[in-house]
Chains A and B, each alone.
Chain A
Amino acid sequence: MKPAPFAYARASTLDDALALLAEHGDDARLLAGGQSLMATLNMRLSAPEILIDLNRIDGLANIEDTGDAIRIGAMTRHVDIETSDAVATHAPLIAAAMEHIAHPAIRNRGTFGGSIAFADPAGELPACAVALDATMHIAGKGGERAVAAADFFRGLYETAIEPGEILTAVSVPKIATGWRSGFLELARRHGDYAIIGLCAHVEHDGNVFGDGRLVFFGAGDRPVAAPKSAALIKGKSWSDALAEDLSAALKQELDPPEDLNADGPMRKHLAGVLVKRTLGPLAGA
């Protein structure tokens, strides 16, 4: 199927893009990597009047070291994150997630910010952002504002980005000493959206766990953090009993949806398996 007709405008600067967005409002869609949007348009599930192309705006595709964090420009392509030393060093969780995102041709084109702003609840990167307590930088007419990842995802494909605003970058705090990241997902086929996946970012002193975040994707209408379950690990070393406790706690804490591949109980069960298989190795077990 071909998309419904639309106009096309290429923004050359951020201000240009913001002006176009202001002009066209709800009739416009922002075109970043387009790897989800174009498929949606091709199925005529969406029919905007105009696409505003962000791909030629300078300065939106850099990965910058800002001291405590790395700032990933929204238009940074997945392939450039996949091959980035800075990401591998400072955000190993994101580095681990990259190979699970679709396929090489998609990663060559898809963007970090596009994935975050699209906010697919089964997407890897939104969950990574929440697990790493990233900060989203959003530009609007009045300038830039920052939103914590935990407050950014508001529901199914819904974010804190207001009409007229554009996500410009995501700041990811550098992994701190004593913290470890683990990524695991269960997809029917390599590169598919996962039935459920886990981003774990935890403190571990070589003996016991400290603080940590367990964030699931494919488990709700947005990335789903499980703070109550995560609290169980504090001060504990890895054990089968802890795995059992976590599995039981997750069944209470999570309320995952049903789709073609799995129902809620199956996802709850798998969440327990993911936690066991992720935290165990992180603890050196």
Chain B
Amino acid sequence: MDKNVDVTMTVNGETVTRRVEARTNLVDFLRYELGLTGSHVGCEHGVCGACTVRVDGRIVRGCLMVAAQADGSDVWTIEGVTETGEIKALQDAFVERNALQCGFCTPGMLLTVAELMERKPDASREEIREFISGNFCRCTGYQAIVDAVAMARAKGDA
């Protein structure tokens, strides 16, 4: 049985085509086939959230999808949403508030809170904490991240 597969998808607005092993998960595809190393691998069992990317408008775990499933999909990574400026307010707030330390969780965390801002723009601190409760950050203790989301939102409202 052929265990390779052809995939074509749009990543950060560019169409890419590759032939890969069918077992290649999406985050490995992005990192090792496309060199988009901003998405990180933290556990490979869907718990840590470091590999969070956006597929067809929604965040997903990049380790819990094979690349073949994203065939025909529209995929966005931290590199893409940085380039478009879409999450600039969040990125600025993260830097200003020191809501990142080692930075390994940060791309996944940013994509997660970007979806929160869209889905629940008025989220309370408690709701922010719940929304990011699937993203592991070992460095900050999360408070700075909650603060940064609130800061970015306050600036957006201004």
Known A-B contacts A53-B69, A79-B58; A191 and B134 likewise in contact (beta carbons under 8 Å): yes
B61: which of A53, A109, A190 is its contact (CB, 8 Å)?
A109
Q: What are 11 contact pairs spanning A and B, CB under 8 A?
A: A8-B5, A10-B68, A34-B69, A42-B44, A51-B66, A103-B134, A103-B135, A105-B134, A106-B46, A109-B60, A109-B65
B112: which of A4, A38, A105, A190 is its contact (CB, 8 Å)?
A105
- Whether a CB of chain A sits under 8 angstroms from the CB of B130 is yes
Contact indicator per residue, chain A 1-44, by CB within 8 Å of chain B (1) or not (0):
11111111010000000000000000000010011001101110
B residues near A4, Cβ cutoff 8 Å = 23
Which B55-92 residues have a C-beta within 8 angstroms of A? 58-61, 63-66, 68-69, 71
- Whether a CB of chain A sits under 8 angstroms from the CB of B115 is yes
Q: B66, A39: Cβ atoms under 8 Å?
A: no
Q: A4-B23, A7-B5, A7-B22 are in contact. List 17 more A-B contacts (CB 8 A).
A: A1-B44, A2-B23, A2-B25, A3-B25, A6-B22, A7-B3, A8-B22, A8-B66, A34-B66, A38-B25, A38-B63, A38-B65, A39-B45, A41-B23, A103-B133, A105-B112, A190-B133
Q: B1, A50: Cβ atoms under 8 Å?
A: yes
Residues of A participating in the B interface, judged by any CB pair closer than 8 Å: 1-8, 10, 31, 34-35, 38-39, 41-43, 49-51, 53, 55, 79, 99, 102-106, 108-109, 189-191
- Whether a CB of chain A sits under 8 angstroms from the CB of B49 is yes
A5: which of B22, B65, B71, B116 is its contact (CB, 8 Å)?
B22
Bound Cα distance A10, B5 (Å): 11
A residues near B142, Cβ cutoff 8 Å = none
Bound Cα distance A3, B115 (Å): 29
Residues of B participating in the A interface, judged by any CB pair closer than 8 Å: 1-3, 5, 21-23, 25, 28, 44-46, 49, 52, 58-61, 63-66, 68-69, 71, 112, 115-116, 130-131, 133-135
Q: A5, B23: Cβ atoms under 8 Å?
A: yes
Known A-B contacts A42-B63, A79-B58, A191-B134; A8 and B68 likewise in contact (beta carbons under 8 Å): yes
A residues near B5, Cβ cutoff 8 Å = 7-8
Bound Cα distance A34, B23 (Å): 13
Bound Cα distance A104, B5 (Å): 29
B residues near A34, Cβ cutoff 8 Å = 64-66, 69
Bound Cα distance A109, B26 (Å): 13
B residues near A190, Cβ cutoff 8 Å = 130, 133
